[in-house]
Structure 1
Amino acid sequence: MNLARRTMNHPAFAMIYERAWRPAGFFIATGRTMQADRVDAARTLHLDRAHSVLDIACGPGNFTHYLSEQLAPGGQAVGIDFSVPMLRRARADNAGPHVGYVRGDARRLPFPDGSFDAVCCFGALYLIPDPLTAAQEMIRVLAPGGRIAISTSHRDENWFGRAGTVIGGISGLRLFDLDLFPALFAQAGLVEVEQRVHGLLQYLSATRPE
């Protein structure tokens, strides 16, 4: 297990992750607040029309709980994470009548095909071993007509991008070419593929045809 994944699985880190580490890190990386990211996620995923959403690598569940409150009446949000300490925090701090948490591997999601109206993974694909398999699993469990959204790192074609690749390789963080995920989505038959870049992160969304 690399340094980044060991950190994510540490109980002490789980306590500060969503309260301090993630908000500060994302603002530095993107110039965006967590609240702006959450509102944008709900809009992008069309949660007002969805009855189920899967939040992959949910961490302590702050994002998952927020998404559960944006769903159509009677909807359910499910957060999945590999880290036991993160899930303990999620169940302690972000439980609710329309949200649940499970432990699982993003590369082998324990759900049938087409289970969710919306599937998302924000700020985590660069930590997951074999992230392309994880992205394909996201598409597999997405229902026809459903929406998928991710935010993840990207690599600039300059000295900064090359240096970031080296540093990321040491710590376990990956940087992705900007054309990688749009191509993967298109090859999987997704439509309405949109990509935006905010600082060090790329945001992508797409629809699975009916």
Structure 2
Amino acid sequence: MNLARRTMNAPALAAVYERAWRPALFYLASGRSMDTDRRDAVRTLRLSGPKRVLDLACGPGNFTGHLSRELTGDGRVVGLDYSEPMLAQAIRDNAAPRAGYVRGDARTLPFADGTFDAVCCFGALYLIPDPIRATREMIRVLAPGGRIAISTSHRTPGWFGALSTAVGAAGGLRVFDTETFPALFAEHGLTDIDQQLHRLLQYVSATRPA
């Protein structure tokens, strides 16, 4: 297990991740606040009513609980993560009537094809050992007409991009180009593909045709 993954599995980080670690680092990386990211997640995933949602690599549930409050009826958000300390923190801090948490491997999701109306992974694909396989799994469990949204690293052009890639690799973080995820979504027949770049992060979303 590389340095980045060991860090994410540390109980001490789980305790401060949502309140300090993530907001500070993601603001530096993207210039966006947690509230902005949460509002955009709701809008991009088109959440409302009794939808079934998967929040992949949910960490301490900083998005899971928030997304669940947009749902009604039988709507539910499942937060899945591999880290036991993160999931324990999620249950303590982000329990909600329409949120539940599951331990699992992003590369082999324990769900049937087309289970979810919306699937998201915010700020974690660069930590997963096989992020492309994990993304294919996200698409597999997405129902027809459903929405998928991710945020992940983005390699900027020039020397700074090369430096960030090298530094990230040394710590176990993947830095992606701007073509990988739009191309992967298109390969699987997704439509309405949208990509936005904010400093060192890219936000990509798409629809699975009905």
TM over 0.5: yes
Tell me the secondary structure at the aligned position of residue 89 of structure 2.
Answer: helix
Q: Once the two structures are superposed, what CA deviation does each residue of 1:87-121 show, in whole Å capped at 9, x if it has no partner?
A: 00011111111110000000000000000000000
Residue type at the aligned position of 1:114: G
Q: After the TM superposition, which residues 46-57 of structure 1 pair with which residues of structure 2 at under 5 Å, given as runs? A: 46-48=46-48, 51-57=51-57
Deviation at 1:49, TM superposition (A): 5.1
* CA 72–192 in structure 1, closer or farther in 2 if over 3 Å, else same: farther
Moved more, 156-165 or 179-188: 156-165
TM-score normalised by L of structure 2: 0.98
Residue type at the aligned position of 1:111: F
**Retained in 2: the 8 A contact 1:168–1:175?**
yes
Residue type at the aligned position of 2:47: L
Distance in 2, Cα, partners of 1:93 & 1:49 = 24
Cross-structure match for 1:58: 58
TM-score normalised by L of structure 1: 0.98
Does the alignment pair 1:99 with 2:99?
yes
Distance in 2, Cα, partners of 1:59 & 1:150 = 15
Residue type at the aligned position of 2:40: D
Residue type at the aligned position of 1:130: D
Q: After the TM superposition, which residues 126-137 of structure 1 pair with which residues of structure 2 at under 5 Å, given as runs? A: 126-137=126-137
Cross-structure match for 1:77: 77
Cross-structure match for 2:174: 174
Deviation at 1:185, TM superposition (A): 0.2
Moved more, 151-160 or 3-12: 151-160
Residue type at the aligned position of 2:158: N
Identity %: 66
Q: Once the two structures are superposed, what CA deviation does each residue of 1:154-179 show, in whole Å capped at 9, x if it has no partner?
A: 11231111111111111001110101
Tell me the secondary structure at the aligned position of residue 128 of structure 2.
Answer: coil
Tell me the secondary structure at the aligned position of residue 66 of structure 1.
Answer: helix
Cross-structure match for 1:203: 203
**Retained in 2: the 8 A contact 1:50–1:118?**
no
Distance in 2, Cα, partners of 1:31 & 1:46 = 23
Moved more, 131-140 or 64-73: 64-73
Tell me the secondary structure at the aligned position of residue 59 of structure 1.
Answer: coil
**Retained in 1: the 8 A contact 2:150–2:205?**
yes
* CA 163–50 in structure 1, closer or farther in 2 if over 3 Å, else same: farther
- Structure 2, unaligned stretches of length 5 or more? none
RMSD: 0.9
Q: After the TM superposition, which residues 126-205 of structure 1 pair with which residues of structure 2 at under 5 Å, given as runs? A: 126-205=126-205
Q: Once the two structures are superposed, what CA deviation does each residue of 1:108-145 show, in whole Å capped at 9, x if it has no partner?
A: 00000000000000000001001000000000000000
Distance in 1, Cα, partners of 2:102 & 2:41 = 21
Q: Once the two structures are superposed, what CA deviation does each residue of 1:173-210 show, in whole Å capped at 9, x if it has no partner?
A: 11101011000000000000000001110000000001
Count of aligned residue pairs for this structure pair: 210
Residue type at the aligned position of 1:41: A
Residue type at the aligned position of 2:147: R
